[in-house]
Amino acid sequence: MQHELEQWKEQFSHLWNVANDYLRDVPPNQLYAAAAIAIFTTLLLLFLRVLKRTKSNTIVLTGLSGSGKTVLFYQLRDGSTHQGTVTSMEPNEGTFILHGETAKKGKIKPVHIVDVPGHSRLRPKLDEFLPQAAGIVFVVDALDFLPNCRAASEYLYDLLTKGSVVRKKIPLLILCNKTDKVTAHTKEFIRRQIEKEIDKLRSSRSAVSEADVTNEFTLGVPGEPFSFTQCSNKVTTADASGLTGEISQLQEFIREYVKQ
């Protein structure tokens, strides 16, 4: 045992000497360069790790009041509507594993969902949550759509021209809710109507004097009819019924942008 240890020691000191001799022959510049590269790589790896960990899991649920955001929120969380038991005072924000995924095995990443009321220009919560959003769900009432088309389009226009949304290219889902009713409009129809309305808004808003323009970015291609395909953000449409729990397309959208 003692003998073996001695042998190891000898070997080690021999190697140590060889390494020292070698390093002495290497020009110091090369040594510094090697050290710099080693440090840089370590930092880069650390940075990538941090970046991966802080990837957002926030989904912002918004849209006009009455479109069904709160019902959808509870469907996502509990798989039920909580009809009649929920007061509007309750904050609709939570981090949870989607109800539809609780039975799944393995590691499931919880999703942070915020239900941001869309009424009036007072949407301070929106500005707080948008910069960290992994995705935006814009809920539209497909049943009572036409009377609300203008207001919904204005709201969507404001969203899609916000600096925090455009710069980060946050994907947006136009969720046509209440499709459990036969009189609900189709998502294709809703998309087309909103595109037309935004097209009108575009010309009226660009006519406003520079000082009044609060939108940081403009939408679409000048001189061409507006289409969502022109947006730098990816805009998609889907159907849902918060009331009957038909929310699979919504869950797919969330899982596409909040990775496990």
Query: Shortest distance, CB of residue 96 to Mg ion, whole angstroms?
Result: 18
- The yes or no reply on residue 259 touching ligand GDP (CB under 6 A) is no
202 vs 191: CA distance, rounded Å: 16
User: How many beta carbons lie within 10 A of that of residue 52, not counting itself?
Assistant: 9
What are the residues binding Mg ion (CB under 5 A)?
69-70
Select from ligand GDP, Mg ion, none the partner in contact with residue 193, using the beta carbon and a kind-dependent cut-off of 5 to 8 Å.
Answer: none
**Size of interface with ligand GDP, in residues (CB under 6 A):** 14
3-state secondary structure of 191: helix
Contacts of 184 (CB under 8 A, 6+ apart): 142, 143, 176, 178
Select from Mg ion, ligand GDP, none the partner in contact with residue 177, using the beta carbon and a kind-dependent cut-off of 5 to 8 Å.
Answer: ligand GDP
Select from ligand GDP, Mg ion, none the partner in contact with residue 181, using the beta carbon and a kind-dependent cut-off of 5 to 8 Å.
Answer: ligand GDP
135 vs 57: CA distance, rounded Å: 9
- The yes or no reply on residue 185 touching ligand GDP (CB under 6 A) is no
Select from ligand GDP, Mg ion, none the partner in contact with residue 77, using the beta carbon and a kind-dependent cut-off of 5 to 8 Å.
Answer: none
Q: Which of 56, 65, 164, 233 binds ligand GDP (CB under 6 A)?
A: 65
Measured over the CA atoms of residue 20, residue 21, residue 22 and residue 26, the dihedral's sign is: positive
Measured over the CA atoms of residue 82, residue 83, residue 85 and residue 88, the dihedral's sign is: positive
Query: Shortest distance, CB of residue 143 to ligand GDP, whole angstroms?
Result: 6
Give the residues lining the site for ligand GDP (CB under 6 A).
Answer: 65-71, 177-178, 180-181, 241-243
